[in-house]
């Protein structure tokens, strides 16, 4: 039986007295895919940020690779996230003055991981971005930036991949392509994959669904 990559229990988070989210529990195994569905404003992004350790819950547990991340200090949480979690944000966030290659290179460097140029070139090639290796983000299309986001999320070989609305701005062709790539890399890494979205096109791809 596959090991549990992600377990959440009793998660509650409040922005203020009038906005409180009470989230359902999640159990995600290695190599498993989970879809979190819901309309805008229901807390999908908040839930992903809690899982990633970017914010702390008011109560509840978040266990990633056997570690309860809620109790980690800031520096330990950063290291845990860098080594075990790959994040694809709703809007691509890259260092604008660096090339696509350098943005992947620094993701390795910041986590004290040895960088082999051929590994980065191979990953860019697999995502059909080898011709964009020396391009800066401003010189890339939306679809190319989405593929580069996938590359950065998997470059450190994480055990858990989190994707926030990864297809909402893509047409049907690029939507299918991005999903195929995400699931392929999750399978190759035997990583858990959690996607938060309101994009109903994704429903048929994920039998494991959570509705907020």
What is the full per-residue pLDDT of the chain (212 aa) written as tens digits? Answer: 347 789 999 999 998 878 899 999 998 888 788 999 988 888 999 999 999 999 999 999 999 988 888 988 888 888 888 888 999 988 888 999 999 999 999 888 877 777 778 889 988 988 889 999 999 999 998 888 988 998 999 888 899 999 998 887 778 888 888 888 888 888 888 899 999 999 889 988 888 889 98
pLDDT digits (tens, 9 = 90+) for 65-104: 888 889 888 888 888 888 889 999 888 889 999 999 999 9
Sequence-distant (≥ 6) Cβ neighbours of residue 81 within 8 angstroms: 52, 53, 54, 87
pLDDT digits (tens, 9 = 90+) for 121-143: 988 988 889 999 999 999 998 88
Name the residue ranges covered by the structural domains of the chain. 4-211
Alpha-carbon span 151 to 6, nearest angstrom: 21
Beta sheet of 209-211, edge-to-edge order: 85-88, 160-164, 192-197, 33-37, 209-211
Alpha-carbon span 87 to 184, nearest angstrom: 16
The pTM of the full predicted model, rounded to 2 decimals, is 0.88
Domain 4-211 falls under CATH 3.40.50.300:
yes
DSSP at 52: H
> In this structure, is the dihedral angle defined by the CA atoms of residues 85, 91, 95 and 100, taken in order, positive or negative?
positive
Average per-residue pLDDT for the chain: 88
Alpha helices in 110-141 (DSSP H): 117-126
């Amino acid at each position: 039986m596959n090991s549990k990559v992600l377990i959440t229990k009793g998660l509650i988070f409040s922005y203020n007295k009038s906005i409180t989210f009470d989230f359902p529990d999640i159990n995600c195994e290695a190599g498993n895919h989970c879809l979190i569905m819901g309309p805008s404003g229901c807390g999908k992004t908040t839930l992903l940020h809690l899982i990633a350790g970017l914010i702390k819950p008011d109560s509840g547990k978040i266990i990633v690779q056997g570690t309860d991340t809620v109790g980690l200090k800031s520096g330990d949480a950063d290291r845990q996230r860098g080594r075990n979690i790959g994040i694809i944000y709703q809007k691509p966030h890259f260092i604008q003055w660096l090339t696509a290659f350098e943005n992947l290179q620094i993701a390795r460097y910041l986590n004290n991981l040895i960088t082999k140029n051929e590994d980065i070139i191979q990953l860019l090639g697999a995502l059909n971005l080898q011709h964009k290796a020396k391009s800066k983000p401003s010189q890339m299309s939306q679809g190319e930036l989405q593929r580069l986001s996938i590359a950065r999320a998997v470059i450190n070989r994480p055990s858990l991949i989190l994707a926030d609305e990864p297809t909402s701005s893509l047409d049907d062709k690029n939507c299918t392509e991005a999903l195929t790539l995400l699931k392929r890399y999750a399978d190759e890494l035997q990583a858990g994959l959690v996607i938060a979205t309101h994009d109903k096109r994704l429903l048929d791809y994920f039998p494991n669904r959570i509705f907020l």
